[in-house]
Amino acid sequence: MQTLIDRLTAVVDKNTLFLADDISEKYFADWSGADPCKPSALLKPKTTDELSQIMALCHEYDQPVVVQGGLTGLAGGATPQASEFAISLERMNGIEDIDTTAMTVSAWAGTPLQVLQDSAAEHSLFMPLDLGARGSCQIGGNVATNAGGTEVIRYGMTRALVLGLEAVLADGTVINAMNKMVKNNSGYDLKHLFIGSEGTLGIVTRVVLQLQPKANSSHTALCALPDYKSVTTLLAELKRSLGPGLTGFELMWDNYYNKVLQVESDLQNPFAEDHPFYLLVEYKDNDSVSGAERFEAALFAQLEAGLITDALVAKTHQDAEKFWQIRDGIGELFKVLGPVSNQDVSLPIADIGIFAADLDQRLKQKYANIGVLLFGHIGDNNLHVCAYTGREEDKVAINRDIMLMIGEYSGAITAEHGVGVLKRGFLDQSRSDSEIALMKTLKQAMDPKGILNPNRVI
Protein backbone atom coordinates (compact mmCIF):
# COMPACT_ATOMS: atom_id res chain seq x y z
CA MET A 1 0.00 0.00 0.00
CA GLN A 2 1.28 3.48 -0.85
CA THR A 3 2.18 5.58 2.16
CA LEU A 4 0.84 9.08 2.72
CA ILE A 5 4.31 10.52 2.06
CA ASP A 6 4.44 8.71 -1.34
CA ARG A 7 1.02 10.09 -2.24
CA LEU A 8 1.96 13.61 -1.14
CA THR A 9 5.26 13.46 -3.04
CA ALA A 10 3.31 12.61 -6.17
CA VAL A 11 1.02 15.65 -5.98
CA VAL A 12 3.09 18.48 -4.49
CA ASP A 13 5.70 20.82 -5.94
CA LYS A 14 9.36 19.82 -5.35
CA ASN A 15 9.82 22.74 -2.91
CA THR A 16 6.81 21.85 -0.79
CA LEU A 17 7.62 18.71 1.22
CA PHE A 18 10.44 18.43 3.79
CA LEU A 19 11.32 15.43 5.93
CA ALA A 20 13.71 14.50 8.75
CA ASP A 21 16.93 16.58 8.81
CA ASP A 22 15.61 18.89 6.08
CA ILE A 23 13.14 20.41 8.56
CA SER A 24 14.70 23.50 10.12
CA GLU A 25 14.34 24.10 13.88
CA LYS A 26 12.40 27.25 13.07
CA TYR A 27 9.29 25.06 12.64
CA PHE A 28 9.62 23.28 16.00
CA ALA A 29 7.96 25.99 18.13
CA ASP A 30 6.21 29.34 18.20
CA TRP A 31 7.06 32.24 20.52
CA SER A 32 4.94 30.96 23.41
CA GLY A 33 7.62 28.97 25.18
CA ALA A 34 5.59 25.74 24.74
CA ASP A 35 7.94 22.73 24.49
CA PRO A 36 9.47 22.52 20.99
CA CYS A 37 8.68 19.43 18.92
CA LYS A 38 9.89 18.40 15.49
CA PRO A 39 6.99 17.80 13.07
CA SER A 40 6.94 14.42 11.30
CA ALA A 41 6.85 16.29 7.99
CA LEU A 42 6.78 19.93 6.92
CA LEU A 43 4.64 21.09 4.00
CA LYS A 44 4.96 24.55 2.47
CA PRO A 45 2.32 24.74 -0.27
CA LYS A 46 2.44 27.52 -2.85
CA THR A 47 -1.21 27.59 -3.94
CA THR A 48 -4.68 26.99 -2.53
CA ASP A 49 -5.11 24.06 -4.89
CA GLU A 50 -1.91 22.42 -3.64
CA LEU A 51 -2.96 22.92 -0.01
CA SER A 52 -6.39 21.50 -0.82
CA GLN A 53 -4.80 18.33 -2.24
CA ILE A 54 -2.53 18.02 0.82
CA MET A 55 -5.48 18.27 3.20
CA ALA A 56 -7.57 15.82 1.18
CA LEU A 57 -4.78 13.25 1.53
CA CYS A 58 -4.14 13.98 5.24
CA HIS A 59 -7.89 13.56 5.78
CA GLU A 60 -7.91 10.24 3.95
CA TYR A 61 -5.03 8.97 6.12
CA ASP A 62 -6.29 10.52 9.42
CA GLN A 63 -3.04 12.49 9.60
CA PRO A 64 -3.11 15.34 12.19
CA VAL A 65 -1.63 18.68 11.07
CA VAL A 66 -0.62 21.91 12.76
CA VAL A 67 -1.00 25.17 10.84
CA GLN A 68 1.91 27.60 11.02
CA GLY A 69 1.90 31.28 10.10
CA GLY A 70 4.72 33.54 11.27
CA LEU A 71 5.12 31.51 14.52
CA THR A 72 4.88 34.61 16.72
CA GLY A 73 1.82 33.24 18.57
CA LEU A 74 1.92 33.33 22.36
CA ALA A 75 -0.56 30.52 23.12
CA GLY A 76 1.36 27.52 21.77
CA GLY A 77 -1.18 26.82 19.00
CA ALA A 78 1.39 26.65 16.18
CA THR A 79 3.92 24.51 18.08
CA PRO A 80 3.79 20.96 16.67
CA GLN A 81 2.69 18.06 18.86
CA ALA A 82 3.92 14.46 18.51
CA SER A 83 3.33 12.91 15.03
CA GLU A 84 1.84 16.04 13.49
CA PHE A 85 2.68 17.36 10.02
CA ALA A 86 3.33 21.11 10.02
CA ILE A 87 1.71 23.16 7.27
CA SER A 88 3.49 26.47 6.80
CA LEU A 89 1.77 29.26 4.86
CA GLU A 90 5.03 31.14 4.23
CA ARG A 91 5.13 30.49 0.46
CA MET A 92 1.51 31.60 -0.02
CA ASN A 93 2.73 35.13 0.25
CA GLY A 94 2.07 38.44 -1.54
CA ILE A 95 -0.45 41.13 -2.28
CA GLU A 96 -2.96 40.39 -5.03
CA ASP A 97 -4.65 43.75 -5.32
CA ILE A 98 -5.03 47.16 -3.65
CA ASP A 99 -8.25 48.97 -4.57
CA THR A 100 -7.60 52.64 -3.79
CA THR A 101 -11.23 53.65 -4.34
CA ALA A 102 -12.88 51.04 -2.14
CA MET A 103 -9.76 51.14 0.09
CA THR A 104 -9.39 47.38 0.26
CA VAL A 105 -6.44 45.02 -0.02
CA SER A 106 -6.53 41.36 -1.10
CA ALA A 107 -3.55 39.28 -0.05
CA TRP A 108 -2.30 35.74 0.47
CA ALA A 109 -2.46 34.54 4.07
CA GLY A 110 1.33 34.15 4.36
CA THR A 111 1.99 37.85 3.73
CA PRO A 112 3.79 39.47 6.70
CA LEU A 113 1.72 42.19 8.38
CA GLN A 114 4.45 44.78 7.80
CA VAL A 115 4.35 44.19 4.04
CA LEU A 116 0.64 45.02 4.11
CA GLN A 117 1.27 48.13 6.21
CA ASP A 118 4.02 49.37 3.86
CA SER A 119 2.02 48.62 0.71
CA ALA A 120 -1.00 50.48 2.09
CA ALA A 121 1.22 53.47 2.98
CA GLU A 122 2.61 53.58 -0.59
CA HIS A 123 -0.98 54.27 -1.71
CA SER A 124 -1.52 56.89 1.06
CA LEU A 125 -3.69 54.37 2.84
CA PHE A 126 -3.48 52.92 6.32
CA MET A 127 -3.58 49.30 7.45
CA PRO A 128 -5.35 49.59 10.80
CA LEU A 129 -3.62 46.69 12.55
CA ASP A 130 -0.29 46.96 14.31
CA LEU A 131 1.57 44.78 16.79
CA GLY A 132 5.14 44.32 17.95
CA ALA A 133 5.53 41.16 15.88
CA ARG A 134 4.61 43.01 12.64
CA GLY A 135 7.77 41.97 10.76
CA SER A 136 7.24 38.24 11.33
CA CYS A 137 3.55 37.57 11.93
CA GLN A 138 1.41 36.83 8.87
CA ILE A 139 -1.98 38.24 8.03
CA GLY A 140 -3.40 34.67 8.00
CA GLY A 141 -2.12 34.21 11.56
CA ASN A 142 -3.56 37.59 12.55
CA VAL A 143 -6.95 36.53 11.17
CA ALA A 144 -6.75 33.07 12.77
CA THR A 145 -5.98 34.63 16.19
CA ASN A 146 -8.20 37.72 15.70
CA ALA A 147 -5.16 39.78 16.71
CA GLY A 148 -5.56 43.06 18.56
CA GLY A 149 -2.72 45.53 19.03
CA THR A 150 -2.49 49.20 19.84
CA GLU A 151 -5.25 50.80 17.73
CA VAL A 152 -8.17 48.53 18.60
CA ILE A 153 -9.84 51.40 20.46
CA ARG A 154 -10.33 53.13 17.09
CA TYR A 155 -10.52 50.38 14.47
CA GLY A 156 -11.51 47.21 16.36
CA MET A 157 -9.72 43.87 16.31
CA THR A 158 -8.72 42.02 13.13
CA ARG A 159 -12.28 40.67 12.81
CA ALA A 160 -13.52 44.22 12.19
CA LEU A 161 -11.13 44.64 9.25
CA VAL A 162 -11.88 41.41 7.37
CA LEU A 163 -14.35 41.76 4.50
CA GLY A 164 -13.76 38.32 3.04
CA LEU A 165 -11.48 35.32 3.01
CA GLU A 166 -10.72 31.97 1.45
CA ALA A 167 -10.11 28.89 3.58
CA VAL A 168 -9.33 25.21 3.14
CA LEU A 169 -11.23 22.79 5.36
CA ALA A 170 -9.83 19.67 7.03
CA ASP A 171 -10.97 17.47 4.13
CA GLY A 172 -9.50 19.79 1.47
CA THR A 173 -12.72 21.58 0.52
CA VAL A 174 -12.01 25.17 -0.53
CA ILE A 175 -14.40 27.80 0.85
CA ASN A 176 -14.23 30.88 -1.35
CA ALA A 177 -15.71 33.78 0.61
CA MET A 178 -13.53 36.56 -0.89
CA ASN A 179 -16.27 39.15 -0.37
CA LYS A 180 -15.25 42.79 -0.99
CA MET A 181 -18.49 44.48 0.04
CA VAL A 182 -19.19 46.12 3.39
CA LYS A 183 -22.83 45.07 3.26
CA ASN A 184 -23.59 41.45 2.49
CA ASN A 185 -26.33 39.79 4.49
CA SER A 186 -26.78 36.91 2.03
CA GLY A 187 -27.03 34.09 4.52
CA TYR A 188 -24.51 33.10 7.19
CA ASP A 189 -21.34 35.17 7.22
CA LEU A 190 -19.00 32.18 7.23
CA LYS A 191 -15.77 34.16 7.44
CA HIS A 192 -16.39 34.57 11.17
CA LEU A 193 -15.96 30.82 11.69
CA PHE A 194 -12.31 31.14 10.68
CA ILE A 195 -11.52 34.44 12.40
CA GLY A 196 -10.24 33.81 15.92
CA SER A 197 -10.70 30.02 15.76
CA GLU A 198 -6.91 29.59 15.77
CA GLY A 199 -6.76 27.21 12.83
CA THR A 200 -9.06 24.61 14.40
CA LEU A 201 -11.86 24.98 11.81
CA GLY A 202 -9.98 25.71 8.59
CA ILE A 203 -6.78 27.08 7.07
CA VAL A 204 -7.04 30.68 5.92
CA THR A 205 -5.39 31.05 2.51
CA ARG A 206 -6.41 34.52 1.24
CA VAL A 207 -8.01 37.60 2.79
CA VAL A 208 -9.73 40.85 1.78
CA LEU A 209 -9.25 43.65 4.31
CA GLN A 210 -10.71 47.13 4.71
CA LEU A 211 -8.04 49.84 4.70
CA GLN A 212 -8.44 53.42 5.93
CA PRO A 213 -7.26 56.82 4.74
CA LYS A 214 -3.86 57.72 6.18
CA ALA A 215 -4.01 60.38 8.93
CA ASN A 216 -1.83 63.44 8.34
CA SER A 217 -0.86 64.07 11.93
CA SER A 218 -0.45 62.17 15.14
CA HIS A 219 -0.40 63.71 18.63
CA THR A 220 0.83 61.95 21.75
CA ALA A 221 0.77 62.83 25.45
CA LEU A 222 1.90 61.14 28.63
CA CYS A 223 -0.43 61.89 31.53
CA ALA A 224 -0.24 61.23 35.26
CA LEU A 225 -3.50 60.31 37.01
CA PRO A 226 -4.44 60.11 40.69
CA ASP A 227 -6.67 56.99 40.72
CA TYR A 228 -8.36 54.36 38.53
CA LYS A 229 -11.75 56.10 38.61
CA SER A 230 -10.12 59.11 36.93
CA VAL A 231 -8.84 56.79 34.19
CA THR A 232 -12.29 55.53 33.22
CA THR A 233 -13.90 58.96 33.49
CA LEU A 234 -11.11 60.43 31.36
CA LEU A 235 -11.65 57.77 28.70
CA ALA A 236 -15.32 58.70 28.38
CA GLU A 237 -14.47 62.43 28.32
CA LEU A 238 -11.79 62.06 25.63
CA LYS A 239 -14.06 59.88 23.50
CA ARG A 240 -16.60 62.70 23.62
CA SER A 241 -14.16 65.52 22.92
CA LEU A 242 -11.82 63.80 20.43
CA GLY A 243 -14.31 61.47 18.72
CA PRO A 244 -12.92 58.67 16.55
CA GLY A 245 -9.49 60.36 16.40
CA LEU A 246 -8.63 58.82 19.79
CA THR A 247 -6.39 55.95 18.67
CA GLY A 248 -4.41 55.09 21.80
CA PHE A 249 -5.26 54.86 25.50
CA GLU A 250 -2.52 52.83 27.14
CA LEU A 251 -2.47 52.65 30.92
CA MET A 252 0.56 51.80 33.07
CA TRP A 253 0.34 51.18 36.81
CA ASP A 254 3.21 52.75 38.76
CA ASN A 255 4.70 49.27 39.39
CA TYR A 256 5.18 48.71 35.64
CA TYR A 257 6.24 52.30 34.86
CA ASN A 258 8.89 52.43 37.59
CA LYS A 259 10.26 48.99 36.71
CA VAL A 260 10.76 49.95 33.06
CA LEU A 261 12.57 53.15 34.05
CA GLN A 262 14.73 51.18 36.49
CA VAL A 263 15.70 48.55 33.90
CA GLU A 264 16.06 50.83 30.87
CA SER A 265 18.68 53.21 32.20
CA ASP A 266 18.69 55.37 29.05
CA LEU A 267 15.05 56.38 29.68
CA GLN A 268 14.39 59.38 31.96
CA ASN A 269 11.27 59.83 34.05
CA PRO A 270 9.71 62.92 32.44
CA PHE A 271 7.69 63.70 35.60
CA ALA A 272 9.24 65.29 38.68
CA GLU A 273 6.91 63.47 41.09
CA ASP A 274 5.59 59.91 41.47
CA HIS A 275 1.98 59.12 40.52
CA PRO A 276 -0.19 55.99 40.88
CA PHE A 277 -1.10 55.81 37.15
CA TYR A 278 0.52 56.87 33.88
CA LEU A 279 -1.42 57.05 30.66
CA LEU A 280 -0.26 57.31 27.07
CA VAL A 281 -2.88 59.00 24.92
CA GLU A 282 -2.69 59.18 21.14
CA TYR A 283 -4.86 61.21 18.80
CA LYS A 284 -4.79 61.24 14.99
CA ASP A 285 -6.19 63.92 12.75
CA ASN A 286 -6.11 64.97 9.12
CA ASP A 287 -5.11 68.55 9.92
CA SER A 288 -1.91 68.94 11.93
CA VAL A 289 -2.60 72.50 13.15
CA SER A 290 -6.22 72.16 14.22
CA GLY A 291 -5.52 68.59 15.40
CA ALA A 292 -2.81 69.77 17.80
CA GLU A 293 -5.08 72.52 19.13
CA ARG A 294 -7.99 70.17 19.63
CA PHE A 295 -5.82 67.59 21.42
CA GLU A 296 -4.23 70.10 23.80
CA ALA A 297 -7.57 71.74 24.55
CA ALA A 298 -9.14 68.36 25.38
CA LEU A 299 -6.30 67.48 27.77
CA PHE A 300 -6.22 70.95 29.35
CA ALA A 301 -9.96 70.74 30.12
CA GLN A 302 -9.37 67.48 32.03
CA LEU A 303 -6.35 68.92 33.86
CA GLU A 304 -8.61 71.70 35.07
CA ALA A 305 -11.31 69.18 35.99
CA GLY A 306 -8.75 67.30 38.12
CA LEU A 307 -8.92 63.97 36.26
CA ILE A 308 -5.33 64.46 35.09
CA THR A 309 -2.69 65.52 37.64
CA ASP A 310 0.02 66.37 35.10
CA ALA A 311 0.40 66.01 31.33
CA LEU A 312 3.30 66.21 28.88
CA VAL A 313 2.43 66.67 25.23
CA ALA A 314 5.07 65.38 22.80
CA LYS A 315 6.38 68.30 20.77
CA THR A 316 8.45 66.18 18.41
CA HIS A 317 8.33 62.72 16.93
CA GLN A 318 11.30 61.81 19.19
CA ASP A 319 9.33 62.88 22.32
CA ALA A 320 6.46 60.63 21.25
CA GLU A 321 8.87 57.74 20.65
CA LYS A 322 10.33 58.14 24.16
CA PHE A 323 6.83 57.92 25.67
CA TRP A 324 6.08 54.80 23.62
CA GLN A 325 9.42 53.30 24.66
CA ILE A 326 8.22 53.28 28.27
CA ARG A 327 4.95 51.60 27.25
CA ASP A 328 6.80 49.06 25.08
CA GLY A 329 9.50 48.40 27.71
CA ILE A 330 8.02 44.98 28.44
CA GLY A 331 10.41 43.41 25.89
CA GLU A 332 13.41 44.63 27.92
CA LEU A 333 11.82 43.49 31.19
CA PHE A 334 11.45 39.93 29.89
CA LYS A 335 15.24 39.79 29.45
CA VAL A 336 15.91 40.45 33.15
CA LEU A 337 12.92 39.21 35.18
CA GLY A 338 13.51 35.47 34.84
CA PRO A 339 10.45 33.16 34.63
CA VAL A 340 7.35 35.36 34.23
CA SER A 341 3.67 34.52 34.29
CA ASN A 342 2.63 36.75 31.40
CA GLN A 343 -1.13 37.02 31.07
CA ASP A 344 -3.27 38.95 28.66
CA VAL A 345 -6.81 39.14 30.01
CA SER A 346 -9.98 41.20 29.62
CA LEU A 347 -12.41 42.55 32.20
CA PRO A 348 -15.29 44.99 32.20
CA ILE A 349 -13.56 48.37 32.25
CA ALA A 350 -15.07 49.53 35.54
CA ASP A 351 -13.76 46.39 37.31
CA ILE A 352 -10.15 46.51 36.14
CA GLY A 353 -8.95 48.79 38.96
CA ILE A 354 -10.51 46.63 41.70
CA PHE A 355 -9.34 43.41 40.03
CA ALA A 356 -5.78 44.72 39.76
CA ALA A 357 -5.62 45.72 43.44
CA ASP A 358 -7.16 42.40 44.55
CA LEU A 359 -4.80 40.38 42.34
CA ASP A 360 -1.75 42.26 43.61
CA GLN A 361 -2.78 41.66 47.22
CA ARG A 362 -3.64 37.95 46.78
CA LEU A 363 -0.44 37.12 44.91
CA LYS A 364 1.70 38.98 47.45
CA GLN A 365 0.04 37.08 50.30
CA LYS A 366 0.67 33.72 48.65
CA TYR A 367 4.13 34.05 47.08
CA ALA A 368 7.26 35.35 48.77
CA ASN A 369 9.13 38.12 46.93
CA ILE A 370 6.69 38.28 44.05
CA GLY A 371 6.76 41.20 41.63
CA VAL A 372 3.48 42.19 39.93
CA LEU A 373 3.52 44.56 36.96
CA LEU A 374 0.33 45.83 35.32
CA PHE A 375 -0.39 47.70 32.11
CA GLY A 376 -2.77 47.41 29.19
CA HIS A 377 -4.94 48.68 26.37
CA ILE A 378 -7.52 49.79 28.91
CA GLY A 379 -9.70 51.45 26.27
CA ASP A 380 -10.43 47.92 24.96
CA ASN A 381 -10.78 46.24 28.41
CA ASN A 382 -7.38 44.61 28.01
CA LEU A 383 -5.07 44.15 31.02
CA HIS A 384 -1.58 42.66 30.82
CA VAL A 385 -0.30 41.03 34.01
CA CYS A 386 3.34 40.06 34.53
CA ALA A 387 4.02 38.25 37.80
CA TYR A 388 7.43 36.81 38.73
CA THR A 389 9.19 35.29 41.71
CA GLY A 390 12.38 34.20 39.96
CA ARG A 391 11.33 30.57 40.51
CA GLU A 392 10.24 28.54 37.46
CA GLU A 393 8.11 26.23 39.63
CA ASP A 394 5.86 29.13 40.71
CA LYS A 395 4.95 30.11 37.15
CA VAL A 396 2.35 27.40 36.51
CA ALA A 397 0.70 27.99 39.91
CA ILE A 398 0.56 31.76 39.34
CA ASN A 399 -0.94 31.26 35.85
CA ARG A 400 -3.63 29.09 37.43
CA ASP A 401 -4.37 31.61 40.20
CA ILE A 402 -4.82 34.38 37.65
CA MET A 403 -7.07 32.26 35.39
CA LEU A 404 -9.33 31.29 38.30
CA MET A 405 -9.58 34.90 39.44
CA ILE A 406 -10.62 35.89 35.92
CA GLY A 407 -13.45 33.36 36.21
CA GLU A 408 -14.49 34.91 39.53
CA TYR A 409 -14.61 38.39 37.97
CA SER A 410 -16.43 37.20 34.79
CA GLY A 411 -13.55 38.29 32.59
CA ALA A 412 -11.92 36.72 29.51
CA ILE A 413 -8.92 34.41 30.06
CA THR A 414 -7.40 35.77 26.87
CA ALA A 415 -7.98 39.19 25.38
CA GLU A 416 -5.76 38.93 22.31
CA HIS A 417 -3.28 36.07 22.26
CA GLY A 418 -5.78 33.21 22.05
CA VAL A 419 -6.37 29.95 23.89
CA GLY A 420 -4.05 27.64 21.95
CA VAL A 421 -2.61 24.95 24.18
CA LEU A 422 -1.63 27.03 27.17
CA LYS A 423 -5.11 28.22 28.21
CA ARG A 424 -7.18 25.32 26.94
CA GLY A 425 -7.73 23.93 30.44
CA PHE A 426 -9.28 27.22 31.59
CA LEU A 427 -11.77 27.86 28.79
CA ASP A 428 -14.67 27.16 31.18
CA GLN A 429 -13.63 30.18 33.27
CA SER A 430 -14.76 32.45 30.44
CA ARG A 431 -17.25 30.42 28.38
CA SER A 432 -20.49 28.76 29.48
CA ASP A 433 -21.09 25.02 29.12
CA SER A 434 -23.53 25.67 26.27
CA GLU A 435 -20.98 27.82 24.42
CA ILE A 436 -18.31 25.13 24.75
CA ALA A 437 -20.80 22.46 23.61
CA LEU A 438 -21.62 24.50 20.49
CA MET A 439 -17.91 25.01 19.79
CA LYS A 440 -17.47 21.22 19.93
CA THR A 441 -20.45 20.70 17.60
CA LEU A 442 -18.92 23.10 15.07
CA LYS A 443 -15.53 21.41 15.33
CA GLN A 444 -17.13 17.99 14.82
CA ALA A 445 -19.10 19.22 11.79
CA MET A 446 -16.14 20.90 10.09
CA ASP A 447 -13.36 18.50 11.09
CA PRO A 448 -15.03 15.18 12.00
CA LYS A 449 -11.71 13.31 12.17
CA GLY A 450 -10.15 15.99 14.40
CA ILE A 451 -7.00 16.30 12.27
CA LEU A 452 -6.77 20.12 12.13
CA ASN A 453 -4.84 21.70 15.03
CA PRO A 454 -6.03 18.97 17.43
CA ASN A 455 -5.85 19.48 21.23
CA ARG A 456 -5.96 23.22 20.82
CA VAL A 457 -8.60 25.75 21.96
CA ILE A 458 -11.27 23.15 22.92
Ligand X SMILES: Cc1cc2nc3c(=O)[nH]c(=O)nc-3n(C[C@H](O)[C@H](O)[C@H](O)COP(=O)(O)OP(=O)(O)OC[C@H]3O[C@@H](n4cnc5c(N)ncnc54)[C@H](O)[C@@H]3O)c2cc1C
> Binding residues for ligand X, per CB under 6 A?
30-31, 66-74, 77-78, 89, 109, 131-133, 137-138, 140-142, 144-145, 147-149, 198-199, 203-204, 416-417, 420, 453, 456
Least Å from the CB of residue 340 to ligand X: 14
Q: How far is the CB of 307 from ligand X (least distance, A)?
A: 27
Nearer to ligand X, 102 or 190 (CB): 190
Q: Which is nearer to ligand X, 174 or 301 (CB)?
A: 174
Helical (H) or strand (E) element with 319: helix 317-327
Q: Given the complex with ligand X, which of 251 and 370 has the nearer CB atom?
A: 251
Least gap, CB of 124 to ligand X (angstroms): 25
Nearer to ligand X by Cβ, of 247 and 302: the residue is 247
CB of 166 to ligand X, least distance (A): 10
CB of 436 to ligand X, least distance (A): 18
Q: Where are the alpha helices (DSSP H) in 167-275?
A: 191-194, 228-242, 254-263
- CA-to-CA distance for 212 and 413, rounded, in angstroms? 31
Q: How far apart, in whole angstroms, are the C-alpha atoms of residue 49 and residue 54?
A: 9
Report the C-alpha gap between 112 and 90 in whole angstroms: 9
Shortest-Cβ-distance residue relative to ligand X: 141
Please name which of 207, 23, 197 lies closest in space to residue 115, comparing C-alpha atoms: 207
Angle 80-12-455 from CA coordinates, rounded to 5° = 20
Q: Are 212 and 161 in contact (CB under 8 A)?
A: no
For ligand X, the closer of residues 147 and 169 by Cβ is 147
The answer to whether residues 8 and 57 touch, using CB atoms and an 8 Å cutoff, is: yes
Which one, of 103, 108, 203, lies nearest residue 452 by Cα? 203
Shortest Cβ 113–ligand X spacing (Å): 8
Q: Which residues lie closer than 8 Å to 116 by C-beta, 6 or more apart?
A: 95, 105, 107, 127, 139, 209
Which of 176, 286 has the CB closer to ligand X?
Answer: 176
Q: Closest CB to ligand X among 230 and 399?
A: 399
- Smallest gap from residue 402 Cβ to ligand X (A): 18
Q: What's the DSSP call for residue 369?
A: T
DSSP annotation string for 38-85: --SEEE--SSHHHHHHHHHHHHHTT--EEEESSS--SSSTTS--TTPE
In this structure, are residues 163 and 209 in contact, taking their beta carbons and an 8 Å threshold? Answer: yes
* Residue number with CB closer to ligand X (40 or 453): 453
Task: Name the nearest CA neighbour of 72 among 112, 101, 13, 106.
Answer: 112
72 vs 220 by CB, closer to ligand X: 72
Cβ proximity to ligand X: between 132 and 243 the closer is 132
d(CA 109, CA 141): 7
User: Closer to ligand X at the Cβ: 133 or 374?
Assistant: 133
Shortest Cβ distance from residue 25 to ligand X (Å)?
15
> If you write DSSP's letter for every residue of 337-359 in order, what string do you get?
S-SEEEEEEE--GGGHHHHHHHH
**Range 219-253 burial, b when 16+ CB lie within 10 A, else e:** bbbbbbbeebebbbbbbebbeebbeebbbbbbbbb
DSSP classification of residue 452? B
Q: Minimal distance in Å, beta carbon 293 to ligand X? A: 31
Shortest Å, Cβ 84 to ligand X: 11
Tell the smallest beta-carbon distance from residue 57 to ligand X (Å): 18
